[in-house]
Amino acid sequence: MLEPVGRVALVSGASRGIGRAVAERLSGAGYRISAGLRDPRRAPAEWQACRYDAEQAGSAEAWVAEAMGRFGRIDVLVAAAGINPKAHFLDADETALDALLTVNVKAPMRMIRAAWPYLVASGTGRIVTLASLSGKRVRNDNTGYAMTKAALVSLTQAVRREGWDHGVRATAFCPGFVDTDMTAHVTRQPRDLMSRPEDIAALIETLVRLPNTASVAELLLNCRHEDML
């Protein structure tokens, strides 16, 4: 297992939910954290808090530049920022779909692209994208969300292939229902039976600490039995 001390992890969506749990877990393990948040005031003092807006094209480059300016290296990237407005394929208004594509697909791609040379230079660069079981099978009418999470899985596979010979390992993490603000609208699954952000964070710590010879392409996690994947 890779030792975390001295390694630098960038975590988007670190204000709340899974992103927050990941940043806290990695910080507790010894990683130096550069957190991407819309409101940097929400980060603990021991983190580098950078303003990051997934909807803005240049935000990732600015964040990476801040991280490199302070730490001089980037070893881990966890893309946890995401949104889930409803976008049905029959909707004539594509505003929600465009937002989903920007935040759930283009933003992680821009983050990876901005950090790429430094992840390569690490020799043991690690990338984890927060996809979803919705990207593996469609079970509701939010077409746009499922589309973008499937695209994120494909992006992660492409990154994994491109980075392999450089020691960069990428994993698409695909959870089901997680007890966060993003599932506040869900009524068919009791909240106490949903997966916990802290458990996902523990698994992500394991993923980013695995050596180059033990790489996980996709990790599917569910809080209930699935009828198909």
The residue ranges of DSSP E strands in the chain, in sequence order, are 8-12, 32-37, 48-51, 76-79, 126-130, 169-175, 218-221
Contact between 135 and 155 under an 8 Å Cβ cutoff? The reply is: no
Which residues carry out catalysis?
A: 145
Q: What is the side-by-side order of every strand in the sheet holding 48-51?
A: 48-51, 32-37, 8-12, 76-79, 126-130, 169-175, 218-221
Contact between 77 and 115 under an 8 Å Cβ cutoff? The reply is: yes
Distances (CA, A) of 36 to 39, 44, 46, 141, 175: 9, 12, 14, 30, 21
Output the six-digit token pair for 162. Answer: 């491109």
Burial class (CB in 10 A: 0-12, 13-18, 19+), 213: exposed
Q: Determine the length of the chain.
A: 229
